[in-house]
Each structure stands twice: as structure tokens, then as C-alpha cells.
A and B are shown apart, each in its own frame.
Chain A
């Protein structure tokens, strides 16, 4: 398929107003599935977490998971939503082999939570108030694997395999109202919004919130209209964009693609689109019209969910700190510059740094490691790979430096071994004998050996030309393979010169 032509981004924004709408699916981390007692676990052998209910054998009936309802209410409350006093489930009917019943048990006109809002900060520091239309409960589908054929897609495949382990896993779908006025920041806002949702569900403890596992998935609706136009433009829905960076790129791509079409007199087809991370582009999925007929009707096998006021209030009382409040608190505690703090937020490293500080590291040291060396390694690694290091280990590493046990260079080496799974930093330092040498005897011997090769250094130091010390310190470090404590070498050298 030919790659679509794109309009220059700035030019697109001059001509058009961008309207986005975001649908985020959050997989809940309940012990069991939404409507049966099967384990809700990722990564098990295919079709091992299944039962008559979640593979829809004749006669089986659903029963609602109470914890999933409570988690959904928590999400609703955290997003400032009203909670539905009597909410029915509804059947969304369509045939697809990953959907065992050929209908999805979802909610339609009575979502568990509705009418909320969320303040979202974008990298520029602007804060947008995103209005939440609804959050409703539903179940996930199974997973299809297409075998044969070149693309791994259903087209051209010889056959397909279905794994129902995920079928019936509880989901909460959070839908925004149309978001106006983000302008050029619309792509960043989309990503920042999803990040906020992630932070919230993680803080609530209701989801593992790992995008690479599909715990949080985003469908991004994008439409354009001429500035000043009243009617909304035709939208496309880019499905299942599964990283924050991809969300930003996909929205930006759709803006440019649609702008090119519209500016050339074309029309936008209302359709779903697929994001291709490798190509950085979207391609057409299936046509989607408002008349898509899912034949929703109230689920007759379930009674309505009727959370009591007492339950809602006790869940409200249990809510953790709001992400925006938390950011304010951390910014105060850590004393980073405004720019440093924003970088940390944008790098999505608040959790790691907070945990590292909690494990005893100084905030600046924690920031330095996560934003520096670890960020570099993460960037080089394949997307989605998780670094094999815990905040406690980073804190330990920082402590070793602070105590003078290792220097920065050694610390980077130690970190490499930590990532390779050799153990904690302290264990590695001991096992590999990486501690800096601050034994004066060994250092003095090395200094004297170096001075023998550079006889003019002592007179130079005596004359106050301290830069001359550099070549001796360098020689000592080299001789001791980097494990010398450079500061101590300098002190000793000055002592020798002043004798």
C-alpha cells in the first residue's frame, strides 16, 4: 500500500482545528475473570485459564466479579465521575472467533461511572481539563494467532488459533468527551492523558498498567475542521496504540494525513485505522459508521449492579492521592528545577525515582541515574523491554558512591552487572573486587612510580601550578585500572609535594 501523503504539521494547524477523543481500555488486575472463577493471569499456556463460562459452552451463565465492580467504581471516583446507582450490563452482539459468546458483555446506556474530568499537564507545562464522558465495565476477548501467510494477519493466513485465557478478563473502558483547543499540543495531550490514566489506575492498585502487555490500550479518535467551523469533521479511530510515544506519533500522523486530504478537496472516510510502529503510519481498517449495528440490549442473565451509598463512600475514602497532587508534593520534596521535574514526568519516571528516594537515595542522585545512564540503556534496548533493575538497587548504588566505596565509572560498570542479573550492587562490588582503592600504602606506591616518570610535577605543584597534578592522577588511575579513589590520590600527591 502506498504511503499516504502528509501535510506539513505547522501548516495543517494553521488551516485546521484538531479535535481528539480518547478511549482507553484498562485491564483490571483482579485475581479472577469478570464473570467466572478462572484465573486472570498473563502468560500462561494457551487455553488453561478457561471454563464453560468463558468459552461460552451451552448452558453456562455469568456471575459478576465483585472486586471488578469495586475497581471500576474506584476508577470512576478517581476521575471525578458520578457513580450509577443501578447499572445494567448489556450485550454487544457481533460475530468474531475470539469472542466466545459472539457477544461481548458490556455496558451501554447505564455505565458504572459517568461525567468526570481529569486535569492533564502537557510537556509545555500547560494544563488541559479533559472531560470524561463515561467509564464502563466489560470483558476482554480471547487472543487470535494467525498461522501461515506473510503478514501474521488474518488475510492470507492458513488457519488461526484462539487462546481464551484472556477471554472474560475484566476491562474498564474510559471514554473522553471530544477534546477541543489542544491545537499543536493535541498529540502530546493524547499521550499525557493516557499517562495520567496509567498513573491513576496504578496508584489505585486496580491494574498492572503495563502497556506492553496490553493492560492499558488506547484508541485515538482524530478529526479536523476548519477554524471557526461549527460542525465536527469526520473522525478516524486509530486502534490499539500501545505505547505513549506511539499515541503521540499516531495522532500527529492522522492530523497530517487528514489535513492533506481535506486541503486537496477530499473527504475523510469514517473508519478504524491501524498504527504501524515500524513504518510510523496508519492504514485503513474496517469502515465504521455510527449505524454500526451491535444490537445492544440489556443482559438478561445478570441483575443490575447496585452499589450502595456506603460502599461508594468507603471506596471514595480509600482513594490514594491524586496524580496532580502527588506531582506537586514530589516537586516540593525533591527540590528539582522546574525543567528537571518536567523531564522526569515526561520520561514517566516518577514512580522509579520516588521508590529510589524511599529506599534511601538522595533525590538528585536518583534522578541522575534514572534520567542518565538507565535512560540511555533503555533507549538502546528494544521498545517494551524492561530494565532488570529495582529502585532499591539503584539506591544501593548511589549509597556506595556516597560512601566512597566506588566512583562513578565503577558504578556504571556495577550497574551493567546488575542488569545482567549478577545480584545487588554491594554483592557485585564484593564478588568482583570492584571497590575503589583508598588504601594509602598502595596509592602512595603508585604515585611514586608515576612521579618517577614525571620528575617535573613536584616542582610545578610547589609553584602552585595544580594542573600539573592531572598527569600523575591519570597515570595512577590507569595503573590501577580505574579502581583508585581519584580524590584521595590528589590529596596524597599534594601531601608528598609539600613534604
Chain B
């Protein structure tokens, strides 16, 4: 195994800057790693080695010519397969988009290309990002590098496992209810859902427009910050994107200081329902923060009780409408049902064949929630809960600068454990969903291993909207404090993958 793949993005960037390695070498090392492990992990739906090497060679040429380079120039990256790319099929994990190559790049992809970051390939996800395990990917699940019998989290299990298995130093994810943070927690990696609007959604295949947010995935806090700095910023093609810059996340990640900060523990997201090891590690981190001069306060968010219910009305409602465009007319799958194929029958046959079970479930839920007679009872009520959750956060942030909770109630579960029980699967996102409903930023970072199963546990940090930098400041501190306790990075506890 090449030394290069175990290096962080910032370390690689340093080596590249000093011309100690070339981008082609770095890119090749990661492609070779995929050759040996991705058969087992299945992080990728599509790999683009040729395009990545061409991009890498171009960056090397520019660097040799003395051009001014972006901080992460030459560092390769993997992109979740729900972002449009002109040089690779974009499927969102669905059969209905099998083989579809978009004629345009997502804004985030454009930014990656402009920063000189070779794109290694497209990572797996639950179909249209609906799921917490990648078991709903139409192309088979990704596996957790810590235990191949377990899920890598979802929907972004491809992006979490690709960095956890050292196939890429960085990845792009998307988070609608925890799809970046939950996978990060169960794979011992770092992932941030930025403030809603901080990163353009243009070219991101929509799940639920008011909840979706693109974000960075990496193996440490600084790398995550550097990547957010690349992809953030206003985009005139996304009306909901924030007009203002949120400042440098990398600067915040380098502060390593929490003295005087008020850290709020959300009462409703601790204790009962959380695995023993998850709770134990969480308490240890609170102790570390307190020891460093942070003030720990308890806050109460009573409306969180209804968060999952509201989320599973708002999300399906928006998704049912967003997914209406998959009708066989202009792109993607077309199924013609034999004789007398009217447009209605072609649309119905295509959607029947092209959508998987979870997608159909949510389309039905959402269509029902929006229908006249149900709207006030369901969708309308859910919007009210959303407002209450926003108020809970406002109240909590009047007492604390950053809120903390375990990222998920449990460590990674086994394949098949929850796939037939939608409610159990949905409950998994209890701690992550409120941030999406409120549009605030959240981060998950490694928080140790649960003693009962030896699997990674994550801690979630939450900050007020536009205060993403606070996440990186506290996250950067906590990561360094953990390393001092553990003697090495958490990812280094991961078992070596059986190389075929």
C-alpha cells in the first residue's frame, strides 16, 4: 500500500506544493487502492481513471509552469453520484437514470474542476438519497471498511466508505436528514452539512429542495474545512444560495481553542434510546471540552419529539413533486408496455420499473400528504412543527454557542437489520434531522469506539445558521484533544482491509 493514500488532503497539498509528489502520482496511488479494495467495499458506482489522470497531469503542468494554484490543487476527490457531471454517468443510485450522462456540470463540480481537483469517480448512495444504509441503492450497497458485514451509513455510504477505505482523501456528500453526518459517524470520518444555502444545489439531483445541502467529507476536520472553502459561495443559478460569504472554515479549524465557549447539550438527544458506548464516549468528550475551558450547559428542545414525523411529511411531499420529472419523455429509462402504449402507460411502466421500493413509498406518502383534504392535517402541520423546531434552536442558541449530541443512537448496524422496517430506519436519523428542518449547519466527527462492539461512534456539533466556522473551531479542538488521549487518529484503529 502506497504511503500517499494514508495522508490527509492538507498533507498531500503540502507535498504537491513543494513538488515532492505530482498530482499524477497521488491520483494513481488512489486509483490503485480502489483496484484492490473497491471490489469489497463498493464505494464507487463509476470510476473515471482516465479523466482523473488527465486532470492531474494538467495540474502538474500548470504547477511546473509556475501558475498560481488553489490550496487543494492536485488533490483527488470522489463525488456523490447525485451531482451532475458531464464526463461521468449520474444515476442518483437509481435504475431510472442508468447510464444518463448530464450535459452540464453541477456548480460544485465546476468549483472542484476550477480548483484543480481530479475527480476519481462517482460514489454510491441510497436511491435518490433516500435511506440510511445504501441498501436502497439500485446498484447494491456499499460496505463499512470497519466491518464489511455492516452498513457504511446512508445515504452517502459511498462517500464515507471511500474516504474511510483510503480510496480518496476527500469526497462530496449531500445531506437532507443526515446523509453526510450519519455515514461519517459510523465510518470514523468527518462530514459537515453546511448552513442551508452555503453551497449551491445547482446540479444536485433534488431529494427535498428545502432540506438538501451539499457538504464535505474527509478524514479530519481541517481537510473538511478546506473542502467546504472550495465548494461554498453564492451561485446565481440557485435562488436559495446565500448572498454572503461565511468566511474561512480552514482558519476556524486551526484555532484549536474552545476556552469560554458555551457548549449546549440537547437534553432530548441524550440518554434513553442511545447505545451505551455511544453515550459513554459522548460524556468523555464533554469532559474534554470542559477541561479546556468550555462551559457545558443543558438546553431543551421539546419540539424535537415531532421532528421525524414532520420530516417524513415535508421530505416526501417535496420529493413526490421533484421526482415527477422522471417520466421517460426527455431522458433516462423508457419502458414501453407492449401494444397501445399511451403516454400515461409509458410513464407508469417506466416509473414502476425504474423506481425502487423506498422511492415509491415516499412518492406515495408525499402525494398523499399534499392532496386536498390532507394538506392541512399533514403537510401544513409539518410546516408548523418546522417553525417550532426553529424556535427551539433559537432559544437553545441564546444559551449556547454550539450544541452537541451523539450523531446517531447506535454504531453501524448489519445489513438487513432495518431494511424491512422503514420506521426503525427512519429513527436512526433522530439527531441529525432537526438541523435540516432548521437550515442550520452540523458536523459529525469521530468520537471513539463503543466498547461493546468496537465500532466507531460520532459526535455531532450544531451551530446557528451562517456560523459554520464555530463547528470547525470546536471540531478542530476536539479532534486534537482526542488524538492526545488515543495516541493516534481514530481512523488508524480501523482494521486493515483484506486486499484481494
Contacts and interface: CB of A to CB of B under 8 A. Distances in A.
A297 B317 contact: yes
B205 A59 contact: yes
Interface of B: 82-84, 90, 92, 97, 100, 102-104, 106, 201-206, 208-210, 236-240, 317-318, 320-321, 324-327, 329-331, 343-344, 347, 367, 370-372, 375, 379
Residue with the highest number of chain A CB atoms closer than 10 Å, among B202, B321, B372, B375: B321
Question: Chain A contact residues: over half helix, strand or loop, or mixed?
Answer: loop
Contacts of A352: none
Contacts of B372: 291, 293, 295
A442 interface: no
B343 A97 contact: yes
B52 to A, nearest CB: 22
A301 B209 contact: yes
B84 A58 contact: yes
Given A58-B325, A62-B239, A297-B321, 19 more contacts: A57-B102, A57-B103, A57-B330, A58-B92, A58-B331, A61-B201, A63-B236, A91-B321, A93-B324, A93-B370, A95-B347, A97-B343, A100-B330, A102-B327, A293-B372, A295-B321, A295-B375, A302-B240, A303-B240
A347 interface: no
Contact of A61 (B83, B238, B371, B379): B238
Interface in A30-78: 52, 55-64
Residue with the highest number of chain B CB atoms closer than 10 Å, among A61, A62, A93, A162: A61
A249 interface: no
Interface of A: 52, 55-64, 91, 93, 95, 97, 100-103, 160, 162, 291, 293, 295-297, 300-303
A63 B321 contact: no
Question: Chain B contact residues: over half helix, strand or loop, or mixed?
Answer: loop
10 contacts: A52-B102, A59-B102, A59-B202, A61-B237, A95-B324, A101-B324, A162-B329, A297-B318, A300-B318, A302-B240
Nearest to B329: A97
Given A93-B321, A101-B325, A293-B372, A63 B90 contact: no
A162 B327 CA distance: 14
B324 A64 contact: no
A60 B239 contact: no
A379 to B, nearest CB: 41
Residue with the highest number of chain B CB atoms closer than 10 Å, among A58, A59, A301: A58
B275 to A, nearest CB: 34
Contacts of B330: 55-57, 100
A63 B97 CA distance: 25
Contact of B104 (A52, A93, A293): A52
A93 B372 CA distance: 12
A56 B325 contact: yes
Given A91-B321, A95-B324, A301-B209, A59 B204 contact: yes
Contacts of A60: 104, 202-203
Contacts of A62: 239
A296 B320 CA distance: 12
B202 A61 contact: yes
Contact of A58 (B97, B239, B343): B97
A59 B84 contact: yes
Contact of A59 (B83, B318, B326): B83
B243 to A, nearest CB: 11
B373 to A, nearest CB: 8
Contacts of A58: 84, 90, 92, 97, 100, 102, 205-206, 325-326, 331
A126 to B, nearest CB: 40
A63 B237 contact: yes
B83 to A, nearest CB: 7
A101 B324 CA distance: 6
Nearest to A47: B330
